[in-house]
Each structure stands twice: as C-alpha cells, then as structure tokens.
Amino acid sequence: MPRARYRLVDTQTTPYYHCISRCVRRAFLCGFDRMSGRSFDHRKQWILDRIKHQSSVFAIEVCAYAVMSNHFHLVLHVNTEASQQWAFKEVIERWLALFKGPDIARQYLAGEVLSSFEQDALSAWVEVWRERLSDLSWYMRCLNETIARMANQEDNCSGRFWEGRFRSQALLDKAALISCMAYVDLNPIRAKLCDSLETSEFTSIQERIRHYARHKESSRQHCWLKPLAGEKSQVISDTLPLLRADYLSLVDWTGRAIREDKRGLIPSSVQPILQRLGVEEDNWIINTQHFGNRFYRALGRLNQMRKLAQRTDQRWIQGLAQADSFYR
C-alpha cells in the first residue's frame, strides 16, 4: 500500500537518501528509442543541468548521480541546518530562482517599502519556502516536472513522462551510503554501456575524476558535488565519510569485478576500506550489483532499520535479512 512521502523520509534518523525516477513504461525517453528510431540522448544533459541548478538553490547536496536512458539515480544529502542559517533575503532569492513567486517578493528585493500586512504575508511565505527548499519531495518535484514539461514540449504532446513521483531509500550509516554511491556510479558498467569509470558518461564518478584531472594543482576550482574527504568544494557542509583516493579505488575494483563476473582477489589497498566500513567482502559485490532490489526502503544495521520503522510508523522494513548478512 502506498505511503505518504513524509512518512518515509525522516531526516532526524538520516539525512542521506537514494532517489530513483523512471520514464513511463520504462521507455527509452532519455536515450535511443528502438521503437521509434529516435535518439533522445540530449535529454540526459537536460537532467544533469537541472540537477546542478537545483543543487545551487536547495539545501540538498548531490553525493552521487547516474543519468541513464530510461531512468536516473541520485544520492542526496538533506542539509536542513543550512536552510535554517539562510537570511530572509537569501530565501527569497533562492525561491525566485525556481519560481515566479508573488509580486511582493520582487518588490522587497527591489527595495520598495512594504505595508505591515504585506511584510507579514511575505514573512509567512519565506518560512514556507525555507522548509520546502530543504524538502526531498520538493526537490524531486521541481526536477521531474521541469524535465517532463521540456520533453512534452519537444514532442508536442501531453501526459506523463515519469512513471510515478519517485522512489526513495534511506541510507542509515556510512557503509550504506558508500555502497549506494558505488551502486549508482557503476550503473553504466553494470548495463555494459562502458568498461571504465573514465568513460562512464553522465555519472558523478566520471565528473569527480575529470574535475580532479583538470584542477589537481589548483585549490581554487571547486566541484559542485558534495565533497569526499580530501576534496575542496563550494558546499558548506562537512565531507562524505571516505577519502577520495579510497573511494575511487573501491569503485574501480568493484567495477572490474562486476565486469568480469567474479570477485577475484581483493587488492591490499581495497581490503582495509571494506574493513573500515564494516561490511562482508563476499557480499559487497552482490550488494553493489543489486542494491535497488535487495533493499526496498532503507539500508543500515538492524537496530537502525528498526528505529527507522518505529519513527515512520511501519511494522517492518523489507531487506532485514539482506542487511544482516551485509554487515560483519
């Protein structure tokens, strides 16, 4: 039975979420459609550009992304503390970067004097906007609606572009977060669209590698993604809980193991990383290949998943047995 989104997302339990949106009927509406013989690959850039734009507006940071031909993945960090620190004027500027907004908001920014009634009304709106700009549902709504409108305009049609709102999975600890990020970054390799991280188009791992290659000698150039430890960025929150070199090594080895369809020997540089994450080595590859199917609503240690179920008023969460086997 469908559940309201606010009952599935609990930022007090975890600020990290994996979100997936699929095209209606899983058609290749962002890639090459064999049925019509048309290529819609350019829409992948639409999605990526919109993600970048929204990440400069919302108090939500992108940890990982992968834009595929009929769906996309996002690993997001909801930074509610950042939105609470925004000044009154900044909230208005951010909201108007996405929406037209009421006239009194533009009048305020232009320096016009507002009546007490208008000031009270604007203050009420600002508090609503502040909350929405750190809301996962509003982030995905703004993203999906914008792309759907652009695609329908291009096709001169109306109707659904995405099969539903979006699916979300709570990532309850460091191991769950890193595992999901690797799963997302390796989507094109799992789909056999490429055979290396450098050629993995429209993924965050390729963007991180390219950014580092271009600016490894400069500390002034910042990446818009939420930084790994050891990276500098424009975002204001802390870094992701793994060194950049460790994450790249882990994802590179995982991609090779997936491509060769066997685990093989774990390199000495990778084994300590898995030990620090506290996950079973034998289950790491399986989990990274089938993350979306193994865990429905969340991934974390059993006590964390039960806590989330209690806070979101769920009797149980699918994937407890898989989670138990994933951790040491």
Does 205 or 213 have the greater pLDDT score? Answer: 205
- Is the separation of the CB atoms in 307 and 173 below 8 Å? no
3-state secondary structure 20-85: EEEEHHHCCCCCEECCCCEECCHHHHHHHHHHHHHHCCCCEEEEEEEECCCEEEEEEEECHHHHHH
Read off φ and ψ for residue 305, nearest 5 degrees.
-70, -40
Tokens of 292: 């979306």
Give 127: exposed, middle or buried? Use CB within 10 Å, 0-12, 13-18, 19+. Answer: exposed
Query: How far is the C-alpha of 74 from the C-alpha of 185, rounded, in Å?
Result: 10
How many whole angstroms separate alpha carbon 224 and alpha carbon 61? 9
Mean pLDDT (whole number) for 233-242: 68
Topology of domain 12-79+135-314 in CATH is: Alpha-Beta Plaits (3.30.70)
- Predicted confidence band of residue 219 (pLDDT cuts 50, 70, 90): low
Residue with the larger pLDDT of the pair 279 and 221: 279
Domain with CATH 3.30.70.1290 in the chain: 12-79+135-314
Structure confidence by residue, pLDDT tens digits, 65-104: 999 999 999 999 999 999 999 999 999 999 999 999 999 9
